[in-house]
Structure formats: C-alpha cells, structure tokens
C-alpha cells in the first residue's frame, strides 16, 4: 500500500498572534510560513510524489504552491475531510482566553468527549480524516501502484489524530503528539498495519531551545505545564 507524506501548513498569522484560527477565512501564511513553504521543494526533491491532496483552507494551499510550481505534472486535489477541526464558537478567539473555558480540560484530558459549541467533535474530526486517508490509499494504489508516495497538506490536530491512528493509540492520547508548522509526518501503510516512519520532522531543532519570552501562542498552554496547544503550536520563533 502507499506511503503518505503528511505536511502541516507553514506558520500562519493566527499562529503568531495566538488565535485559534479554525476555519476562519483569510488566515494566511506569515513571513516565516512562506519561507518554510519555499524550502519544501528541496526537502522533498528526491521523492517521486504521485499526487497531492490538500485541506481547502488558504494556509494549506499556500504551503503547497512552491512545491507544485516545481512539479507541474503532479495532480492536485482538494479534500474537505482534511480540513481543520471545526472549532465552532471557539474559532477566531485568543487561545489564552480559551484556557478559562471548562471545555478546555476535556479537550486536553478526554478529547474523545470534546465537542465544540457550534462546531464538530474531535472524534468526528479524527474519523473523517482517517476515512479520507484510507480512500486515498486505495485510489493511489489503484492508479500509481502499491509502492507509490503521495502527499497531503493539513492541520495540526488532524495530523496528530492520523499519527495516533497509525500508532494504534486511543484518541484520548493524541494530545501527547506534537507537530510543528511545515513539519513532515510519514505513514507507510501495509495490508495488516501502518508504520509511523517520521513524526513532525522539520530538520530544524531550534524550537527545542529555551525561550526567554514565550510567543503569544504560548498562552494556549495555559496554567497547566502539560497542556497541548489546540490546533497546533507556532513552532520556533
């Protein structure tokens, strides 16, 4: 079966301002995000990518533009099932202020039970993205062969859920996974089980350095040291 190369979109304007973008229109890559996207063709230069699939949101399409410009023959598809989680009434709000919402503890500790007011549940997000990948696996294998590689550009929580699925982890464990902007996560699927080959690979270890002044998005982690950033953190400053 095919190998899936999952790319999280590059750093966005929402990442750097500490806002939970969700599906809010007009959220674009910031300057660093464009730089990250511009480096993607070189990072993937040696890989024969059969086709690319993307979330419909602008920040994902912008991330893939430099790569597709160097590969005009590559098929490009949009799949709504790879869209960001629909955070409903939480969308567009500051992550720091969301820490005071009672739902945040559920999101962090028991995401299987988390459903966003006016939006969708995390369980629904995980289910539809996993179903999308399995359908694309079958299509890519049929059209390009069992050893083909294909790429999908999506969002932090979606990619974390797919990585958890590949590892056989319960969704309640997926907040233990982190993927930075424009990182590459690779899952090789087989008939009996998937293998997580890469997780959140950026080729850059700078985000591991201590930060003297946390960025605005750091507020998403709130008062609990072990909390995950909803939607995915902003990566290195």
Is residue 12 in some structural domain? yes
For the domain that residue 29 is a member of, what is the CATH number? 3.40.50.1240
Is residue 150 in some structural domain? yes
Residue range 160-205, pLDDT digits in tens: 999 999 999 999 999 999 999 999 999 999 999 999 999 999 987 6
Residue 203: the pLDDT is 86
What is residue 163's three-state secondary structure? Answer: helix
How many domains does one find in the chain? 1
Residue 236: the pLDDT is 56
- Residue 115: pLDDT over 60: yes
Is residue 168 in some structural domain? yes
pLDDT band at 224 (very low <50, low <70, confident <90, very high): low
Structural domain of residue 32, as residue ranges?
3-221
Is residue 84 in some structural domain? yes
Pairing assessment for the beta strands 3-8 and 49-54 based on DSSP bridges: unpaired
Is residue 134 in some structural domain? yes
Is residue 82 within 8 A of residue 127, CB to CB? The reply is no
Q: What is the mean pLDDT of the chain?
A: 91
Residue 222: the pLDDT is 46
- Residue 230: pLDDT over 80: no
Is residue 109 in some structural domain? yes
pLDDT band at 219 (very low <50, low <70, confident <90, very high): very low
Per-residue pLDDT, averaged over 222-237, amounts to 63
Bridge-partner residues for 51, per DSSP? 75
- Residue 218: pLDDT over 50: no
CA triplet 162, 164, 169: central angle to 5 degrees? 145
Residue range 53-72, pLDDT digits in tens: 999 999 999 999 999 999 99
pTM of structure: 0.88
Per-residue pLDDT, averaged over 35-59, amounts to 96
Is residue 227 in some structural domain? no
Is residue 48 in some structural domain? yes
Residue range 2-30, pLDDT digits in tens: 999 999 999 999 999 999 999 999 999 99
More confident residue, 128 or 215: 128
């Amino acid at each position: 079966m095919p190998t899936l190369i999952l790319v999280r979109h590059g750093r966005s304007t929402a990442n750097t301002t500490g806002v939970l973008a969700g599906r809010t229109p007009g959220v674009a890559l910031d300057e660093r995000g464009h730089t990250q996207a511009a480096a993607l063709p070189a990072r993937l230069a040696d890989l024969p990518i059969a086709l690319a699939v993307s979330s419909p949101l602008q920040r994902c399409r912008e991330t893939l533009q430099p790569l597709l410009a160097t590969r005009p023959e590559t098929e490009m598809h949009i799949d709504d099932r790879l869209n960001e989680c629909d955070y409903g009434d939480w969308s567009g709000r500051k992550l720091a202020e969301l820490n005071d919402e009672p739902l945040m503890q559920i999101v962090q500790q028991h995401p299987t039970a988390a459903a966003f007011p006016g939006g969708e549940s995390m369980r629904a997000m995980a289910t539809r993205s996993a179903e999308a990948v399995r359908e694309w696996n079958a299509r890519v294998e049929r059209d390009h062969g069992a050893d083909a590689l294909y790429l999908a550009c999506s969002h932090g929580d979606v990619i974390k859920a797919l990585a958890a699925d590949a590892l056989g982890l319960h969704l309640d464990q997926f907040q233990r996974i982190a993927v930075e902007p424009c990182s590459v996560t690779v899952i090789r699927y087989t008939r009996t089980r998937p293998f997580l080959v890469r997780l959140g690979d950026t080729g850059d270890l700078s985000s591991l350095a201590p930060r003297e002044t946390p960025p605005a998005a750091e507020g998403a982690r709130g008062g609990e040291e072990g909390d995950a950033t909803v939607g995915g953190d902003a990566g290195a400053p």
